[in-house]
Amino acid sequence: MKSLVLLVLAATIAAADPKQDLETAYAKDAKARALALALYDETGSIATVGPRETMDGGYRGLIELVPQLPTGKYRKHLQWTLTALRHIDGFFEALYAGSSATRNYRTDHLEFRFIRSLKKRTPSAYAVSWAIAYNVNGSLMTTAAKVEETLFHEIFHLNDGAHAWSQVLATDYDAIVAKCGTAVPCLAPYAPNTTKVRGGTYYAFQPNNGSGVGEYAAELAVRYWKEHRRILAGQAVDAPFKCGPPENRRAWDALVTEFFGGRDLVPACS
């Protein structure tokens, strides 16, 4: 019965008066209600719940997911989501300050569907049709910093889907996989990010994980964000990704051109 009530709330929030519906959905938790309204006011994004489902998680196996409104002990996830979007928007404002370049990268008017996994802690999140399912039990959703990185990754998936873009990287990606398989030492120079699957390999190259090149592209976007955050903070970038193997430079340049208006502050490679 509780799941049914939450699903009714999810459908209600998608109605004509989102703010009033958020007021109703979060009526029992004033602090969560304030966060949900702030998220909507600042970004146009809705904090709702996802459906109960049994998900085919690929290498993760079957996963049972249930709706979980981010109230009470789960309220921190709503705060982390709001903080992450504020930081991401601030990042882009700083990135384009004084530049005529424009980003082609949407971060607003999203739907956050909060869920809770049973017996497993994966997936932490997944993206579909301008919506992000956020697992309050996700292994990556344990700190504000980890949530921010995860959401940047997932928001890229949404933009990638709208552009139908990541397949342009497939030739190089497939060649890397053919050369290295899942061997971490071989893949290390090509891995855009450090995230690894427990007992597996780099997340960007993990088999049976949906679109491999799509995950590689999302991790590449995270690398762009990390390197540019350092530069904007006045810090040096050690071992820039684009200065690695030629495959890295081709992928980097394609990403910068497609989504970030050619805005690349990383110094030229020596």
Largest CA distance in the chain: 62
- In a domain, residue 192? The reply is yes
146-184 burial by CB neighbour count: b if 16+ within 10 A, else e?
Answer: bbbbbbbbbbbbbbbeeeebbebbeebbeebbeebeeee
- Residue 102 has a pLDDT of 83
- In a domain, residue 145? The reply is yes
- Residue 1 has a pLDDT of 43
Instruction: Give the model confidence (pLDDT) of 175-194 as tens digits.
Output: 999 999 999 999 999 999 99
Q: Is the pLDDT of residue 91 over 80?
A: yes
- Please indicate, yes or no, whether residues 90 and 56 belong to a single structural domain of this protein: yes
Percent of the chain with pLDDT over 70: 93
- Please indicate, yes or no, whether residues 18 and 97 belong to a single structural domain of this protein: yes
With cut-offs at 50, 70 and 90, classify the pLDDT of residue 209: confident
- In a domain, residue 269? The reply is no
- In a domain, residue 268? The reply is no
Last residue of one domain, picked from the residues 162, 179, 194: 162
Percent of the chain with pLDDT over 90: 83
- Please indicate, yes or no, whether residues 18 and 74 belong to a single structural domain of this protein: yes
Q: Is the pLDDT of residue 236 over 90?
A: yes
- In a domain, residue 270? The reply is no
Q: Are 145 and 84 in contact (CB under 8 A)?
A: no
Last residue of one domain, picked from the residues 138, 162, 186: 162
- Please indicate, yes or no, whether residues 198 and 67 belong to a single structural domain of this protein: no
- Please indicate, yes or no, whether residues 132 and 33 belong to a single structural domain of this protein: yes
- Please indicate, yes or no, whether residues 146 and 170 belong to a single structural domain of this protein: no
- Residue 3 has a pLDDT of 45
- Residue 9 has a pLDDT of 53
Q: How many domains does the chain have?
A: 2
Average pLDDT over residues 114-122: 91
| Separation of alpha carbons 61 and 113, rounded Å | 21
Last residue of one domain, picked from the residues 145, 162, 179: 162
Average pLDDT over residues 88-95: 97
Chain centroid offset of residue 165 CA: 16
Per-chain mean pLDDT for the chain: 92
With cut-offs at 50, 70 and 90, classify the pLDDT of residue 17: confident
Q: Are 89 and 109 in contact (CB under 8 A)?
A: no
- Residue 138 has a pLDDT of 95
Range of 157's domain? 2-162
